[in-house]
Amino acid sequence: MRAARLIKMVLLLQARSCMTAGELARELEVSERTVMRDAQALSEAGVPVYADRGRAGGYRLVGGYRTRLTGLARGEAEALFLSGVPGALREMGLADAASAARLKVAAALLPSLQDAPRTAAQRFHLDAPAWFRAPGTPALLPALAEAVWDDRCVTARYRRGDGEVERLLEPYGLVLKAGAWYLCARVPDAGAFRTYRVDRFAAVDAADLRFRRDEDFDLPGYWAAQAERFARSLLRAEAVVRLSPEGVRRLPDAVGAAAAREGLAGAGEPDGSGWVAVTLPVESEEVAYDQLIGLGPEVEVLAPGSLRERFARDAARLAELYGAG
């Protein structure tokens, strides 16, 4: 533990040229007294650490000293590619590995490039969770992340409906979607890939068995296909509507891109006013009402009759509210 801290101290001084005892203590998560002892230990080991006293003082490496302890471990190298998603790294238990990797990269850069990590962090940030939703970390996410990295099978209990099912899974990948984590795994007994929401796992136990990963498996491609299939599976009903040109333009925002694309693909020819008849796949009549009401006068519902009657009834109420008064 101390050896790793001493190496990190050298890398910090190499990357930043001069740091106060307080700055080093914060970075290393130790006391300033421990920083002083570590600096003394490095000096005794032949690393030229020098302490400048005074207001502008601090610790520095003398004579342009540069360590060659910049080789990345596998875990650090893998975590480095996720370093643009700091929240996800913390939730998967990889924050320390990513921090060490970034520090080693910074130490290996030319002095003229050593501000690159800071300038990039000032300009780009990914905030994955959806608005108005408190993000939560599933308790079993770190265990699943470790199994994904290690290609290790897990025996998992998963909450489904009112009960739980137990499965042996080959965890291929994790996906963070709008603040929720999903596991993409192969079920050996079924010979198929399935998707599980991580916060529904009741237990995860790593097995002694490692699985051989299918190198042709494409996680982004698999997720895109699954997401589109899931979105389409929800659309179990239909609504026939007429849309103005403005309604056509705003339709994807109202009902979603997949439903709008499918509906407009089978649309009829525009009438003399530019309105078109469209048969839309919808989740339910209730959901269709909530979605289409946002289009206001740019849409006319033709069917089903009960949905048209609801629009007519509410339109009459609006006319009464905004009419003569």
Rg (C-alpha) for the chain, rounded Å, is 29
| 152-160 vs 201-210, strand pairing mode | antiparallel
Query: In angstroms, rounded to a whole number, what is the distance separating the alpha carbons of residues 206 and 217?
Result: 22
Least confident of 34-43, 78-87, 262-271: 78-87
pLDDT digits (tens, 9 = 90+) for 120-175: 555 656 666 667 666 677 889 989 989 998 999 999 999 987 889 999 999 999 98
Q: Which pLDDT value is given to residue 1?
A: 62
Task: Specify the higher pLDDT residue, 110 or 236.
Answer: 236
Q: What band does 112 get if pLDDT is binned at 50, 70 and 90?
A: low
Across 206-217, average pLDDT: 91
Q: Which pLDDT value is given to residue 95?
A: 65
